[in-house]
Structure 1
Amino acid sequence: MNIYERVSSHLLVAAFDFGTTFSGYAFSFRDKPLEIVANNNWNDESNLSLKTPTCILLDPEEKFHSFGYEAENKYKMLCEEDEHHNWLFFRRFKMLLHRNKKLNRQTTVKDITGKRRMFAIDIFSLSIRYLRDHFFSELQKKYSGIEETDIQYVITIPAIWDDNGKQFMRMAALQADINNAKLTLALEPEAASICCKRITVDSKGQEFLTGLQYIVIDIGGGTADITAHQINDNGTLTELYKASGGPWGGINVDNNFLDFLKDLFGEQVMSSFKQKHLEDYWYMLREFETNKRQVKFAGCHEQEQTYITIKLPLALRDISKHQNGKVLEKLIGSSSFSSDIKVKRDKIRVGVELVRKWFDGPVNDIIRHIEDLLKTPEVRQVTTLILVGGMADSPYVQEKIRYAFSSKRLIIPKDAGLAVLKGAVVFGHEPLSISERVMRYSYGIEMFQRFKRSTHKSSFKVKVDGKSYVDNVFHVFVRAGDTVQVGQEITKIASPINKESSLYPIYRSLSSDPNYTTESDCEMIGLLTLKHVGQDDFESKKVKLTMIFGNTELMVKAEEINTVEKSSSTFNCLME
């Protein structure tokens, strides 16, 4: 069956793009899935984004107060009145989930002062609840009679997140009262790929044709997610190579800008400025966010760009003069930036070559990664690159990638920053859009096997009742690099551990041929718990362990064989 002929059970799909720096939502109805409506009713004075900042404010009783621009504005007002001390403000907390091996329900996140903590699961849950409630409120203003049960929800996540990060996000959504059966997680670069294939064409009007192989480069605020796809005859997508990427998002440019200010003024000055004049501090960062998008690639424009202008708040200059004992002009003149900066009234003009260096670290990491990726046999036939995400709007990023891969066609869709969000909506209607994925890891369980001299290490050999066994054997279900169908089930037979319940550790490895769970690139990612329904004839019982691959989330289940009652199992990646 063609994926576009599938009949949905829901009336509409609502997708939340929960980003490191900005978040937003969009939706469309089942009968018109490509007529996607993105919310533009944010309290945004700068018109900087069609999304709202990913930040949340709690009152002194640790209760939810506001999210996004409303949270920013309220906290700035509290700071001006010196009434903010008992309030908690959190921002850019999504990166907490990036490759956090110790992530669990007890993980905490610091507020902006670094002095107070809250459980991260609560901060994520409150944020998701706000997006859900805001969406439903706006929906009810335009369409009457829609119930919660009519909606399929989709939340976007980076493809490079670990299994525990994915489970954490789902648990946060469940805590926000989103029905588990009505929730889908969408991988961000895959959503962008679906958007481009179904909604957009390139600047020359060329469509995405069957057989086309392309790489999606999704550069958000925190991470860069990179995937490679091929369009199949039936319109589905096959993943050509395992998803990859790194922490190379736009916040790196902001951090480099802040490092520059620390080098110029000193860390103590910047700390005092941020603490005493938070509104001015945020205004400066917001203005930089606007100005950095004007930076262009060298030599690609008729009139060469020489500088960008940044307005410095008066409070920063006053604090600097008081602590450094110098006016701004003399401070710059005695610094290593004397040739890069010029002062003009309340502004500084920063040489564009210096500003480009703030971009070059993360962008060069992305370029090197793609260069290595294109050398692999699986993607050597790729002809097209697709650039999406918030950083895709940067002319400098666009031209730098275009220059690095001049032999490839580069597609930058209109509203590239919304490609993930729009694609997530389509994915909610068409979950079979992705037909095959490539495994990033080998997955399996730890087994206790009879010792074989030709196969096993003698150092792992143990004696049981006079017989030789070997412990810590990695029993593979699927191997890294394998291509699997969406929903592909692989089952192995195991023995129960004890009469009441059995715990089966689930392992993964970067190696395509792991032998033992004690190897350096092998790690336990979770526990599968099976509660036994009967204790009779325990020794003869067998357990069927099943792993389900190819979906956005790993699924693991277990059941007893040849029992009348149905046994229940749970898989937990968030171990305490």
Structure 2
Amino acid sequence: MTGNEKGSHLLVAAFDFGTTFSGYAFSFRENPLEIHAKSWNDESYLSLKTSTCLLLDPEEKFHSFGYEAENKYKMLCEEDEHHSWLFFRHFKMLLHNNKKLSKQTTVKDISGKRRMFAIDIFSLSIRYLRDHFFSELQKKYSGIEETDIQYVITIPAIWEDNGKQFMRMAALQADIDNAKLTLALEPEAASICCQRITVDSKGKNFMSGLQYIVIDIGGGTVDITAHQINDNGTLTELYKASGGPWGGIYVDNNFLNFLDDLFGEQVMNTFKQNYLEDYWYMLREFETKKREVKFDNCHEQEHTYITIKLPLELRNMSKTQNGKVLEELIGSSPFSLDIVSKKDKIRVGVELVRKWFDGPVNGIIRHIEDLLKKPEVHQVSTLILVGGMADSPYVQEKIRYAFSSKRFIIPKDAGLAVLKGAVLFGHEPMSISVRVMRYSYGIEMFQRFKRSIHKSSLKKKVEGKAYVDNVFHVFVRAGDTVQVGQEITKTSSPINKESSVYPIYRSVSSDPKYTTESDCEIIGILSLRHVGQDDFKSRKIKLSMIFGNTELIVKAEEIDTEVKSSSTFNCLMD
């Protein structure tokens, strides 16, 4: 029995590895719904997630992760001792739509001057979460071994195959057993959480046949999936997962762009470099202030502005470098009618603050509008908002307003829905029974020319016979619904005596003809080393692709041989 099968573990531990915040939770097999989530202490408050930050010492060795790393680096900056240390944050976005991802991919530290292999940064972060979890577990429960634990790591549903493989490789490098590791798609995990941990005690929100869309608004990306609840309680995906880069960090970026426009980029860069603690404190405060913004505030004076405290050093630095006090800067800026200076604070008009939200939120709304036009989801009646940014009243209210005819569900602690659902998914990986393919997958074939099928311009003569090269031999088509674990096989012949190598192609088209088409691309290489070399031309090879899981599985084996051959599938660039 493998680690993914129900009943082979004592407990499930899930890591929600986010762009801005990360955390873990677990539950035991005997009572999976009793989920324990770790609380993290940061100097001023208690949080259910810690900051996704990693600090390495001058010897490039692990020092700390999360709030501990953040606070240590701030202290180093205050004492001007940070220059030889390496601090990393927001590095998860490196895996979003990165077609050149490889083991050699590097990530810059916060200074932008030094680089480390990304696989090491991810691995050290995962190792920290794993070790921290296991240490805390042993304090409360004795006798639990590593082999008793099924691990789950959450990933965005819109990640490509190479990002998924990269995350698994990072976990393996962190010494998590491959057989004890499951990757969970974040919006699917949230869907499972909302279904199992129902919003009302009678569970009326999630009855059989219900069709709904999950909108997971994280720090970096927004993942959107559409599900239907089956009679047996499992979920069917109605339409392929989609989404885009519209997460909370883009609201933060708009705020930082506003400060650049007000004070000047040079002032802000100098302030960040010399007063990092104050810079981060300002961002932390803005994180809190974001939750004060509403879609339709009343017109009382106290509700028309958002008050943001400005560090004294920033005001002084601005006066020194710009030759103007803050009030003069405001008066000469495009925001003169939107900002009021009050001692050590600025009061920013709520309409301006709303504009910082509107870029990413409008992107979400437009995407949902397009999705709801698809015939596969025309019966969707409910929208579910989860993820850290789903806690924002403005985001909630603006999306509600755009889709006023739909019923909305926003679970308590929406930012924990993915994490809790990932724990449940680890206990019951067959909670999702049917998925929709985002791409067509297949291999390249050399076929006999058929006038009714192939283009005459692609015809080639080989030993007097007409052939066509670069034919896309389809295993599954974009838009097809597949059962989880559905295996599709084809038969091929060995390429040479020693080994056979098969490029695996995909296409956004549901009917790709040739691998040379513009929307076709190689996503990985399947390699099979042959055990024997005699009569290799007469041998047959079974090529298999297994669909419907969170990760694509591709394998090959020789048929009619007593010696088992093994194959490897690699989605990462060399």
TM-score bucket (shorter structure): over 0.9
Letter paired with 1:497: I
| Corresponding position of 1:178 | 176
| Equivalent residues of 1:296, 1:305 under 8 A apart | no
Q: Which runs of 5+ in 2 are unaligned?
A: none
Supply the distance in 2 between the matched residues of 1:300 and 1:453 (Cα, whole angstroms).
71
Query: What are the superposed Cα offsets for residues 511-566 of structure 1, whole Å, 9 maximum, x if unpaired?
Result: 00000111111110000000011111111111100000000000000001111100
| Equivalent residues of 1:20, 1:222 under 8 A apart | yes
| Corresponding position of 1:250 | 248
Supply the distance in 2 between the matched residues of 1:309 and 1:10 (Cα, whole angstroms).
50
| Corresponding position of 1:546 | 544
Task: State whether structure 2 residue 18 is matched by structure 1 residue 19.
Answer: yes
- Please give the secondary structure, in 2, of the residue aligned with 1:34: coil
| Corresponding position of 1:513 | 511
Shift of 1:303: 8.6
Equivalences for residues 475-486 of structure 1 within 5 A:
475-486=473-484
Supply the distance in 1 between the matched residues of 2:303 and 2:232 (Cα, whole angstroms).
47
Shift of 1:9: 1.1
| Corresponding position of 1:83 | 81
Letter paired with 2:220: G
- Please give the secondary structure, in 1, of the residue aligned with 2:320: helix
Supply the distance in 1 between the matched residues of 2:476 and 2:112 (Cα, whole angstroms).
42
Shift of 1:466: 1.7
Letter paired with 1:447: M
- Please give the secondary structure, in 1, of the residue aligned with 2:294: coil
Query: Residues 257 and 48 (structure 1 numbering): CA distance in 2 closer, same or farther, change over 3 Å?
Result: farther
Query: Residues 239 and 18 (structure 1 numbering): CA distance in 2 closer, same or farther, change over 3 Å?
Result: same
The equivalent position to 2:159 in structure 1, one of 158, 161, 183, is: 161
Supply the distance in 2 between the matched residues of 1:213 and 1:255 (Cα, whole angstroms).
35
Shift of 1:204: 9.4
Query: Residues 205 and 343 (structure 1 numbering): CA distance in 2 closer, same or farther, change over 3 Å?
Result: farther
Supply the distance in 2 between the matched residues of 1:521 and 1:298 (Cα, whole angstroms).
44
Supply the distance in 1 between the matched residues of 2:572 and 2:402 (Cα, whole angstroms).
40
Shift of 1:213: 0.3
Supply the distance in 2 between the matched residues of 1:462 and 1:496 (Cα, whole angstroms).
22
TM-score with structure 1 length normalisation? 0.97
| Corresponding position of 1:287 | 285
| Equivalent residues of 2:449, 2:468 under 8 A apart | yes
The equivalent position to 1:315 in structure 2, one of 310, 313, 316, is: 313
Size of the aligned set, in residue pairs, is 570
Equivalences for residues 18-417 of structure 1 within 5 A:
18-40=17-39, 42-47=40-45, 49-201=47-199, 206-299=204-297, 305-417=303-415
| Equivalent residues of 1:293, 1:394 under 8 A apart | yes
- Please give the secondary structure, in 2, of the residue aligned with 1:536: coil
| Corresponding position of 2:436 | 438
Supply the distance in 1 between the matched residues of 2:322 and 2:204 (Cα, whole angstroms).
58
Supply the distance in 1 between the matched residues of 2:100 and 2:425 (Cα, whole angstroms).
30
| Equivalent residues of 2:297, 2:304 under 8 A apart | no
Shift of 1:459: 2.5
Query: Residues 449 and 255 (structure 1 numbering): CA distance in 2 closer, same or farther, change over 3 Å?
Result: same
RMSD over aligned CA atoms reads 1.3
Shift of 1:206: 3.1
- Please give the secondary structure, in 2, of the residue aligned with 1:200: coil
Shift of 1:244: 0.2
Query: Residues 408 and 554 (structure 1 numbering): CA distance in 2 closer, same or farther, change over 3 Å?
Result: same
Query: What are the superposed Cα offsets for residues 406-443 of structure 1, whole Å, 9 maximum, x if unpaired?
Result: 10000000010000000000000010100000000000
Letter paired with 1:97: L
| Corresponding position of 1:558 | 556
- Of 203-212 and 357-366, deviating more is 203-212
Query: What are the superposed Cα offsets for residues 346-394 of structure 1, whole Å, 9 maximum, x if unpaired?
Result: 0000000000000000101101110111111000000000000001100
Shift of 1:48: 6.5
Supply the distance in 1 between the matched residues of 2:202 and 2:30 (Cα, whole angstroms).
29
Supply the distance in 2 between the matched residues of 1:459 and 1:322 (Cα, whole angstroms).
70
- Please give the secondary structure, in 1, of the residue aligned with 2:41: coil
| Corresponding position of 2:534 | 536
Supply the distance in 1 between the matched residues of 2:376 and 2:269 (Cα, whole angstroms).
49
| Corresponding position of 1:8 | 7
Supply the distance in 1 between the matched residues of 2:465 and 2:268 (Cα, whole angstroms).
68
The equivalent position to 1:504 in structure 2, one of 495, 502, 505, is: 502
Identity of aligned residues (%): 86
Shift of 1:45: 2.5
Shift of 1:136: 0.4
| Equivalent residues of 1:306, 1:352 under 8 A apart | yes
Supply the distance in 2 between the matched residues of 1:502 and 1:274 (Cα, whole angstroms).
54
| Corresponding position of 1:464 | 462
| Equivalent residues of 1:48, 1:290 under 8 A apart | no
Shift of 1:319: 1.3
Supply the distance in 1 between the matched residues of 2:204 and 2:285 (Cα, whole angstroms).
37
Letter paired with 1:19: G
Supply the distance in 1 between the matched residues of 2:335 and 2:260 (Cα, whole angstroms).
12
TM-score with structure 2 length normalisation? 0.98
- Please give the secondary structure, in 2, of the residue aligned with 1:95: helix
Supply the distance in 1 between the matched residues of 2:43 and 2:286 (Cα, whole angstroms).
15
Query: Residues 566 and 261 (structure 1 numbering): CA distance in 2 closer, same or farther, change over 3 Å?
Result: same
- Please give the secondary structure, in 1, of the residue aligned with 2:34: strand
| Equivalent residues of 2:74, 2:276 under 8 A apart | yes
| Equivalent residues of 1:202, 1:412 under 8 A apart | no
Letter paired with 1:155: I
Query: What are the superposed Cα offsets for residues 233-283 of structure 1, whole Å, 9 maximum, x if unpaired?
Result: 000000000000000100000000000000111111111011111111111
Shift of 1:465: 1.3
Shift of 1:51: 0.2
| Equivalent residues of 1:93, 1:109 under 8 A apart | yes
- Please give the secondary structure, in 2, of the residue aligned with 1:35: coil
Letter paired with 1:29: F
| Corresponding position of 1:3 | none
Shift of 1:47: 2.7
Query: Residues 303 and 34 (structure 1 numbering): CA distance in 2 closer, same or farther, change over 3 Å?
Result: farther
Letter paired with 1:532: H
Shift of 1:299: 4.8
Query: Residues 138 and 364 (structure 1 numbering): CA distance in 2 closer, same or farther, change over 3 Å?
Result: same
Query: Residues 328 and 406 (structure 1 numbering): CA distance in 2 closer, same or farther, change over 3 Å?
Result: same
Supply the distance in 2 between the matched residues of 1:14 and 1:204 (Cα, whole angstroms).
28
Shift of 1:305: 2.6
- Please give the secondary structure, in 2, of the residue aligned with 1:43: strand
Letter paired with 2:398: K
Query: Residues 239 and 304 (structure 1 numbering): CA distance in 2 closer, same or farther, change over 3 Å?
Result: farther
